[in-house]
């Protein structure tokens, strides 16, 4: 009898657990597919440029030159080529974490990572050789003429610039040397050009013409500081004004 009572008690407890208040049915999760926004339609021209560093028409032009495939993300939604490009440009422009970039357009972090990789590879293969290069022999004369038309200075075939990496004050007597025009301490960095084949060609004299740089660059045989160019430009403006008067 005791054994039967024990079995009956177990059965009642099991029934309460399965069908009573203690039971909580774990319903399958419902996937919440959020609508993705189209930044080309969402932002005006200036808002778009501030976020992606490109104008809308430029993005459309870049997209036409890249061979990006439509793919699915981890949520089963199609990821169009335009969105892949915008994800990558946003990452380039801000350097934000991939999950943050993805949250802005409702895309998972792994999909952001794959998009950045795919678009970057396409840019290196298709755009870099076409646009990031020195002028050809037949183009040199045209480039020099266009620079001459801008500032009246002959022989210029390119300009170089740098970025300022913010640093803490180094202290000492020369600390103010590192304070830039925006009032913060920074160090000028032009690693891309310094490690490029273009710099090697200019230093060897294999590239035609000279480069313009600001006063942060030392004057070399192939580089002229912009401060010197500014003086030349000011002189030309003064002469033109004199002729006009």
The side-by-side arrangement of strands in the sheet containing 210-213 is 156-159, 210-213, 223-225
Instruction: Concatenate the DSSP letters of all residues of 45-69 into one string.
Output: HHHHHHHHSS-HHHHHHHHHHS-PP
Any idea which residue has 């005006």 for tokens?
Answer: 44
By DSSP bridging, strand 78-79 and strand 210-213 are unpaired
CB of 148 closer than 8 Å to CB of 139: no
What's the rounded Cα separation, in Å, for the pair 20 and 219? 86
Residue among 62, 70, 80 nearest 126 (CA):
62
pLDDT tens track, the chain, 245 positions: 555 555 556 555 555 555 555 444 444 444 444 567 788 998 999 999 999 999 999 999 999 999 998 876 555 677 899 999 999 999 999 888 999 999 888 899 999 999 999 999 999 999 998 988 888 888 999 999 998 898 787 888 888 877 888 999 999 999 998 998 889 999 888 888 888 888 888 888 888 888 887 766 666 666 655 555 555 545 543 443 343 33
């Amino acid at each position: 009898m005791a054994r039967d009572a024990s079995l009956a008690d177990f059965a009642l407890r099991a029934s309460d657990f399965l069908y009573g208040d203690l039971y909580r049915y774990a319903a399958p999760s419902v996937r919440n597919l959020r609508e993705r926004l189209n930044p080309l339609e969402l932002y005006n021209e200036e808002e778009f440029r501030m976020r992606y560093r490109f104008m809308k028409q430029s993005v459309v032009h870049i997209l036409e030159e890249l061979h990006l495939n439509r793919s699915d993300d981890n949520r089963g939604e199609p990821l169009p080529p335009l969105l892949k490009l915008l994800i990558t440009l946003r990452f380039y422009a801000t350097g934000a974490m991939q999950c943050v970039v993805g949250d802005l357009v409702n895309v998972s972090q792994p999909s952001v990572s794959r998009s950045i990789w795919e678009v970057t590879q396409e840019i290196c293969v298709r755009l870099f050789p076409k646009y990031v290069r020195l002028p050809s022999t037949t183009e040199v004369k045209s480039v020099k003429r266009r620079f001459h038309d801008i500032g009246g200075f002959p022989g210029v075939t390119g300009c170089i610039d740098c970025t300022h990496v913010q640093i803490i004050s180094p202290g000492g007597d020369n600390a103010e040397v590192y304070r830039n025009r925006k009032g913060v301490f920074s160090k000028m960095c032009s690693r891309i050009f310094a490690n490029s084949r273009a710099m090697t060609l200019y230093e060897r004299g294999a590239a035609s013409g000279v480069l313009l740089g600001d006063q942060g660059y030392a004057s070399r045989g192939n580089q002229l500081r912009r401060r010197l160019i500014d003086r030349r430009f000011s002189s030309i403006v003064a002469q033109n004004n004199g002729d006009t008067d």
